[in-house]
Amino acid sequence: MYQYRKDYPGVWENGQIYGRSLATMLEASPTPLFVVSPARSLENSTRFVELTRSLTEDRAEVFYSVKTCCDPQILRMIAQSSVGAEVVGNEELKLARDAGFSRFIVDGAWKSSTLLKETIESNCQIINIGDANELSEIDAIAQQYGIVQPIGMRLRLPHQNFLGLSSQEFELVLENLSHYRHLLLSGLHVHAGFNILAQNIQPIIDTLQWGASTASAYGQHITTFDVGGSMAEMAAIENDLNRYVAMLVSSLLTMSEARLIFEPGRLIVGDVATLVVSVVRRTSGNVLIIDASAELLSFLSGQTPLIGVWAIGRPLRGSLNEMTVRGIWESDHDYITVQLPTEVIVGDKLLFFNCGAYALSFTEAFSPYHTHIMYID
């Protein structure tokens, strides 16, 4: 069950979202309203870069995962911090370039020829291979440009069935690597897909260590360990990151030239957008119907909702109660259970503080409902 938050420093404090009065914003715009703070993404990104650099003694590089939120204003902000962009498609590459990113890595289960050509041409730092069939095309393009392209191999983690290369597939690639004269295997990549914390990191370390020693047995020297995203979202305890990064450093950065790559998404943009919705009905059984729809589903994608209440100036003093929050869709599945103050009534506003990842981009692209967006500069 999700907890009600009275305030959330930097996002929601004393009736203000990102330092601006919610009452004033609601005079200017109806709900559902996304309040977006591009500046927050720059703060988050800068903080993460500083944290990883200091914990690794400058042996970490950060590439923002563009898919997580590709809103141009947010991308432009993030590009101002010293991070590169992790892209999986042409559109993402174009958006990232237009926003001012100049360093790229490429991921993804399938990479179009256009994406490969454009990234190889612009000195893509590393292309992470998800399938051995990608090798010959990348080798041929690198040959055309007269370069040797650094590549990484995405390895399958024990809990994954389809993503990345299995141990047998990886060894087969290593056996055949000498056929590709324009590729340099320098990296290993994993992406857990859950929130990595110090207590669940061991399989990631084991897989990367196994990959490096297997590659070494075939004469390949791995210098880059790319741990993907999953660095936890804003709702997770950020302090754990220190322990987590320290474990990666002590177990993977054992050679002087070794370095780590991080590809954070939700950690950078999770809390850059707050969705403000109105309670339009309160039914018996403590069900609150809100005037939003698909957003309710999309923010659940990998995020732990952080929810507050704005009771139109009325102080909320009562006890918390278990309530069901539902959008206006007629569906038995689209609801969440939250602890909310008992006095929430029709007209009050619910605030979903971490709607920056996926929800914002999806809303802009697909929602048939008119969602209002207000940028805070």
Ligand X SMILES: Cc1ncc(COP(=O)(O)O)c(C=O)c1O
Question: Out of 230, 274, 298, 361, which residue is the one contacting ligand X (CB under 6 A)?
Answer: 230
Whole-angstrom Cα distance, residue 350 to residue 374? 17
Q: Find the part of the chain contacting ligand X (CB under 6 A) among 10-18, 229-237, 249-257, 308-316.
A: 229-237
State which residue, 92 or 107, has the beta carbon closest to ligand X: 107
Q: How far is the CB of 334 from ligand X (least distance, A)?
A: 22
Whole-angstrom Cα distance, residue 305 to residue 92? 26
207 binds ligand X (CB under 6 A): no
Report the residue number whose CB is nearest to ligand X: 229
Q: State the number of binding residues for ligand X (CB under 6 A).
A: 14
Contacts with ligand X, 80-119, as mask; x by CB under 6 A: ------x--------------------x------------
65 binds ligand X (CB under 6 A): yes
Q: How far is the CB of 69 from ligand X (least distance, A)?
A: 10
57-to-53, 86, 95, 232 alpha-carbon distances in Å = 6, 22, 31, 22
Q: Find the part of the chain contacting ligand X (CB under 6 A) among 71-79, 227-235, 276-284, 313-321.
A: 227-235
130 binds ligand X (CB under 6 A): no
State which residue, 165 or 350, has the beta carbon closest to ligand X: 165
Q: How far is the CB of 268 from ligand X (least distance, A)?
A: 8
Q: Find the part of the chain contacting ligand X (CB under 6 A) among 77-85, 137-145, 226-234, 237-245.
A: 226-234
265 binds ligand X (CB under 6 A): yes
Q: How many CB atoms lie within 10 A of CB 176?
A: 12
State which residue, 229 or 305, has the beta carbon closest to ligand X: 229
52 binds ligand X (CB under 6 A): no
228 binds ligand X (CB under 6 A): yes
Burial level of 317, CB count in 10 A (0-12/13-18/19+)?
exposed
* Spatial CB neighbours of 190, under 8 Å, sequence gap ≥ 6: 154, 155, 157, 164, 204, 207, 208, 226, 227, 228
Q: How many CB atoms lie within 10 A of CB 283?
A: 10
Contacts (CB under 6 A) with ligand X, residues 266-285: 266-267
191 binds ligand X (CB under 6 A): yes
Q: How far is the CB of 292 from ligand X (least distance, A)?
A: 22
**Pure H helices in the chain:** 22-28, 38-56, 72-79, 90-99, 113-121, 134-144, 167-176, 202-217, 239-252, 266-269, 294-298, 359-366
Whole-angstrom Cα distance, residue 54 to residue 45? 14
Structure tokens at 107: 């991921």
65-to-6, 19, 230 alpha-carbon distances in Å = 30, 27, 11
Tell me if 174 sits within 8 A of 140, measured CB to CB: no
358: left (phi over 0), alpha (psi -120 to 50) or beta: left
226 binds ligand X (CB under 6 A): no
State which residue, 143 or 160, has the beta carbon closest to ligand X: 160
**Interaction site with ligand X (CB under 6 A):** 65, 68, 86, 107, 191, 228-231, 263-267
